């Protein structure tokens, strides 16, 4: 399929002046600055097909926002190329941004003092949306994002959930071909999150909008994306389908045993019994349930079960499916290497 | 044409916003009028003691003073948001927004705000010119009005360009509001005939930070009709060169912009 977003060897370096602590350190940095180059994004390449929703994940400070900012033309890459919708962002900025929508969850793009409706009227002019299309579009956005309740309120009076919906609507007003969402569900309650997720899905399905989404909420990813790119410390660590992630790292399994007697938990010492490191096998007690997470490449489900049944009395047993969240947690903690 | 239309919309929105904060607007306007009234009072007191200053009469001084406010107030009225670039917008990463919109970033920043505080200066300017012009016998030809318009445009451009340049420094240094402020303060020199200053100050405000071309030089031409090439031509050249330089610095700044973490 056609590539909508194409990034090759993207790299971004920032110069940073190192300061020693305190006022003295600050003064020293003023006269004799010690400079260091920080590589925020280190040779990242990936592509996104037309109409795809790509989940872009990684721990805090991994460089996600920096990549998004390079793709949207806000930052100039130190080296590397990105081409989106056939255009190079920094070369043809005005024409390029006409066909993209951008939402930064942390920062509103709306005018703080204007009523929301006025904000959209200004954006209509900026993006030169024809009257007829604007009316239709507003009706549609109203419907999917439920803006009606607060469209006459000044932006400064909106709650975070309202503001985020308003921001997303603003980014979609001109029917962009590519939508960049940087943490669009940050700090929101479950209901608003679901509303936003289904809006993104609807826009993607109805209009074939290509979406690139960063988030820390893996439920967003599971609901919206088939493929993820994961980065850490500026480097790409995984690029593939979620099913592939599960397949590759699915050797991390969880078994749950409900004990008849809670004190029995003392008798279970998995890491000593199987002579494995704490990282490869981990047991925790939750109420009367023991949850054992382990690496199936090192010990089999059968061994765990038979050891547990031999050692303690078990009322119930549950073998859980591989959870993407668990895999990602382990990747973040660098327990699994790629 | 599209930008004119946009500008109208921005100003309309600004006025709506003004209505949101009526008290703030009222107090701002009162403050501005008091500031200007005090400055005029001060000028009146000085000239009640000194009837003339190095060959310039009281009325002529008032004319120069009033003339200096034309460019200053227009720049103030339309491009006040540039201050925020140096103080806040770049440092806080708010500039991201402008880069994701399909219009010129410089235009967008400027158009977004419209500073009604400037009406205090405009009022003073009109009062001063309205008082002094009838008492002076200014040379008037058919080309005086077009020349005046040209001067106003390029003199305003001098102000705006200096503000653009110093604001754009923040793309590298993150904050540059104080640099703009420092530079802006030197425009006070241009309110009076520059012959009252020593050579160094004269050279600086003519060739380095050419604020003298926003007031004294063109005003002296309209007063005396002498030296049009230097007084008017100088304003046009200073305005054009500075504006070209400002656009260059701004565009280089855009590439250096580093945003802020989020």
A:B CB pairs within 8 Å: 74
Query: Residue B156 — left, alpha, or beta (φ > 0 → left; ψ -120 to 50 → alpha)?
Result: alpha
Which residues of A fall within a CB distance of 8 Å from B93? 107
Q: Do A97 and B96 touch (CB under 8 A)?
A: no
Residue among B14, B94, B100 with most chain A CBs within 10 A, to mutate = B100
DSSP of B58-116: HHHHHHHHHHHHHHHHHHHHHHTTHHHIIIIITTTTTTHHHHTSSS-HHHHHHHH---T
Interface TM-score (ipTM) > 0.90: no
* pLDDT value for B235: 96
Average pLDDT, chain B: 90
Render pLDDT for A110-158 as a digit per residue (tens, 0 to 9). Answer: 988 888 999 999 999 999 999 999 999 999 999 999 999 999 999 999 9
Q: Does domain A3-12+42-246 have CATH number 3.40.50.300?
A: yes
* pLDDT value for A336: 58
Q: In the 8-state DSSP scheme, what is residue A113?
A: T
Confidence of residue B180 (pLDDT cuts 50, 70, 90): very high
Q: Which helix (H) or strand (E) holds A33?
A: none
Domain ranges of chain B: 2-256
Which residues of B fall within a CB distance of 8 Å from A118? 13, 16
Going through chain A in order, the beta strands assigned E by DSSP cover 3-18, 34-49, 53-57, 79-84, 100-104, 178-182, 210-214, 227-232, 235-241, 252-259, 281-286, 289-295, 314-320
* pLDDT value for B130: 93
Confidence of residue A178 (pLDDT cuts 50, 70, 90): very high
Q: What is the mean pLDDT of residues A182-206?
A: 92
How buried is B89 (Cβ within 10 angstroms: 0-12 exposed, 13-18 middle, 19+ buried)? buried
Which residues of A fall within a CB distance of 8 Å from B96? 69, 74, 104, 107
**Chain region(s) in chain A for CATH 3.40.50.300:** 3-12+42-246
Phi/psi of residue A130, each to 5°?
A: -65, 150
- Compare CB distances from A75 to B16, B103, B258 and report the shortest one's residue: B258
Confidence of residue A58 (pLDDT cuts 50, 70, 90): confident
- Compare CB distances from B102 to A98, A118, A183 and report the shortest one's residue: A98
**Chain region(s) in chain A for CATH 3.30.70:** 252-321
* Interacting residues of A166 by C-beta distance below 8 A, sequence separation 6+: A108, A110, A116, A119, A145, A147, A150, A155, A158
* Interacting residues of A183 by C-beta distance below 8 A, sequence separation 6+: A104, A105, A106, A214, A215, A216, B262
* Interacting residues of A121 by C-beta distance below 8 A, sequence separation 6+: B9, B13
Q: Does the beta carbon of B261 lie under 8 angstroms from any beta carbon of chain A?
A: yes
Cβ(A98)–Cβ(A177) below 8 Å:
no
Distance (Å, rounded) from C-alpha A184 to C-alpha B89? 22
Q: Which of A126, A123, A118 is nearest to A151 (CA)?
A: A118
* Interacting residues of B50 by C-beta distance below 8 A, sequence separation 6+: none
* Interacting residues of B231 by C-beta distance below 8 A, sequence separation 6+: B217, B218, B220, B221
Quote the tokens at residue B217.
């030089």
Which residue of chain A is at minimal alpha-carbon distance from B9?
A122
* pLDDT value for B149: 95
Which residues of A fall within a CB distance of 8 Å from B97? 107, 109
Render pLDDT for B97-135 as a digit per residue (tens, 0 to 9). Answer: 999 999 999 999 999 888 888 888 888 899 999 999 999
Q: Does the beta carbon of B9 lie under 8 angstroms from any beta carbon of chain A?
A: yes
How is domain A252-321 classified at the CATH fold level? Alpha-Beta Plaits (3.30.70)
Q: How far is A66 from chain B (nearest CA, A)?
A: 8
Distance (Å, rounded) from C-alpha B191 to C-alpha A151? 48
* pLDDT value for B76: 92
Strand A210-214 with A53-57, pairing: parallel
Q: What is the pTM of this model?
A: 0.84
Enumerate residues 94 to 113 of chain B having a beta carbon within 8 A of any beta carbon in chain A: 94, 96-97, 99-104, 108, 112
Q: Do A122 and B10 touch (CB under 8 A)?
A: yes
Distance (Å, rounded) from C-alpha A42 to C-alpha A88? 19
Which residue of chain A is at minimal alpha-carbon distance from B14?
A114
In three-state form (DSSP H/G/I as H, E/B as E, the rest C), the secondary structure along B174-201 is: CCCHHHHHHHHHHHHHHHCCHHHCCHHH
Q: What is the mean pLDDT of residues B31-57?
A: 82
Give the SS3 label for residue A105.
Answer: coil
Residue that is written with structure tokens 């795809």 in the block:
A52
């Amino acid at each position: 399929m056609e590539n909508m977003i194409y990034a090759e060897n993207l790299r971004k370096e920032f110069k940073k002046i190192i300061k020693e602590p305190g006022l003295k350190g600050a003064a020293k940095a003023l006269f004799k600055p010690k400079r260091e180059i920080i590589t925020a994004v280190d040779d990242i390449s990936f592509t996104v097909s037309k109409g795809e929703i790509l989940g872009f994940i990684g721990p805090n400070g991994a460089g996600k926002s920096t990549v998004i900012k390079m793709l949207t033309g806000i930052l100039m890459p130190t080296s590397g190329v990105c081409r989106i919708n056939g255009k190079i962002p920094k070369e043809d900025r005005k024409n390029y941004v006409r066909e993209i929508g951008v939402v930064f969850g942390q920062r509103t793009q709306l005018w703080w003092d204007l009523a929301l409706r006025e904000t959209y009227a200004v954006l209509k002019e900026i993006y030169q949306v024809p009257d007829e299309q604007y009316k239709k579009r507003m009706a549609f956005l109203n419907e999917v994002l439920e803006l009606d309740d607060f469209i006459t309120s000044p932006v400064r009076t909106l709650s975070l959930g309202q503001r985020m919906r308003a921001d997303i609507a603003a980014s979609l007003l001109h029917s962009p071909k590519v939508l960049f969402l940087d943490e669009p569900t940050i700090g929101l309650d479950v209901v608003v999150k679901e509303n936003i997720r289904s809006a993104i899905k609807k826009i993607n399905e109805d209009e074939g909008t290509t979406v690139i989404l960063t988030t820390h909420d893996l439920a967003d990813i599971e609901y919206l994306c088939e493929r993820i790119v994961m980065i850490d410390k500026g480097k790409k660590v995984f690029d593939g389908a979620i099913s592939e992630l599960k397949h590759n790292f699915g050797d991390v399994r969880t078994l749950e045993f409900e004990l008849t007697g809670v004190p029995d938990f003392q008798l279970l010492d998995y890491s000593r019994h199987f002579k494995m490191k704490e990282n490869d096998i981990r047991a925790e007690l939750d109420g009367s349930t023991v949850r054992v997470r382990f690496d199936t490449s090192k010990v089999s489900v059968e061994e765990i079960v038979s050891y547990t049944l031999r050692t303690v009395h078990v009322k119930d047993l549950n073998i859980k499916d591989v959870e993407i969240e668990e895999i990602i947690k382990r990747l973040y903690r660098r327990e699994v290497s790629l | 044409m599209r930008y004119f239309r946009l500008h109208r919309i921005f100003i309309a929105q600004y006025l709506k916003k003004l209505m949101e904060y009526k008290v703030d607007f009222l107090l701002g306007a009162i403050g501005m009028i008091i500031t200007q009234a005090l400055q005029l009072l001060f000028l009146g007191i000085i000239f009640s003691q000194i009837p003339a200053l190095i060959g310039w009469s009281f009325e002529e001084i008032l004319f120069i003073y009033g003339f200096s406010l034309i460019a200053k107030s227009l720049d103030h009225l339309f491009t006040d948001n540039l201050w925020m670039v140096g103080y806040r917008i770049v440092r806080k990463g708010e500039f991201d927004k402008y880069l994701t919109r399909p219009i010129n970033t410089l235009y967008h920043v400027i158009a977004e705000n419209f500073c009604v505080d400037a009406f205090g200066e405009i009022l003073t300017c009109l009062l001063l010119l309205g008082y002094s012009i009838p008492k002076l016998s200014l040379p008037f030809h058919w080309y005086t009005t077009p020349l005046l318009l040209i001067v106003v445009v390029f003199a305003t451009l001098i102000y705006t360009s200096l503000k653009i340049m110093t604001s754009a420094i923040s793309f590298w240094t993150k904050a540059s509001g104080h640099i703009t402020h420092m530079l802006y303060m030197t425009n006070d020199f241009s309110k009076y005939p520059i012959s009252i200053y020593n050579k160094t100050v004269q050279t600086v405000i003519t060739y380095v930070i050419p604020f003298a071309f926003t007031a004294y030089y063109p005003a002296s031409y309209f007063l005396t009709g002498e030296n049009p090439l230097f007084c008017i031509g100088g304003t046009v050249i200073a305005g054009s060169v500075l504006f070209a330089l400002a656009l260059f610095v701004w565009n280089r700044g855009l590439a250096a912009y580093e945003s802020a973490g989020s």
